[in-house]
Amino acid sequence: MTLQTVLLVAAALFAVGIYGALSQQVVVMVMMGLELMLNGVILAAGGFWWFLAPSPDGQVLLLVVISAMTVEMAMGFAVATLLHRSRGADMTDMAADLAG
């Protein structure tokens, strides 16, 4: 286990997440793609912490990333619930009102 291998795995997770976020039509599946991307970010940040600067400050940064993931999921579910309740939509293509 080296920094490079950790970053490679994190890059793979991030890439899989990008595929999901771009290709999925269901709102919740898009959120799963975003979650996978953040999963990769967390792993990469952990790798940086351990292999470059293992101080307590880096752990605080990781907690912030996890908090951001929590906020994203909570607001995503709230918006998905609102969409479903107001127009019965659960697909991104059905909520393209702001598309130019």
Partner 1 sequence: MSAVFVDVAFWVLSVAAVGFGALVFRVDSMARATYALAVSFVAVGLALLLLGLEYVGIVTVLMMVMEMAIMAVFMVMYMGMNPALMPMNMVHSPRWAAGVAATTFVGLAALALLVPWPARRGAPPVDVTTALGNAIMGSKMLVMLTVSPVLFATLVAAVVLASARGRYDRFGDDLSRRPADDPAPGGVNR
Measure the CA–CA gap between 57 and 98, rounded to whole angstroms: 40
Smallest distance from partner 1 to CB 17, Å: 7
- CB-CB neighbours of 62 under 10 Å: 15
C-beta closer to partner 1: residue 11 or 87 = 11
- What dihedral angle (degrees, nearest 10) is formed by the CA atoms of 65, 67, 71, 76? 60
Residue ranges in contact with partner 1 by CB under 8 A = 1, 3-20, 22-26, 28-29, 32-33, 35-36, 39, 42-43, 46-47, 49-57, 59-60, 62-64, 66-67, 70-71, 73-75, 77-82, 84-85, 90-91, 93
Helix (H, G, I), strand (E, B) or coil at 26: strand
Measure the CA–CA gap between 65 and 53, rounded to whole angstroms: 17
Smallest distance from partner 1 to CB 50, Å: 4
Smallest distance from partner 1 to CB 7, Å: 4
Q: Which two tokens stand for residue 23?
A: 């290709």
Smallest distance from partner 1 to CB 37, Å: 10
C-beta closer to partner 1: residue 53 or 98 = 53
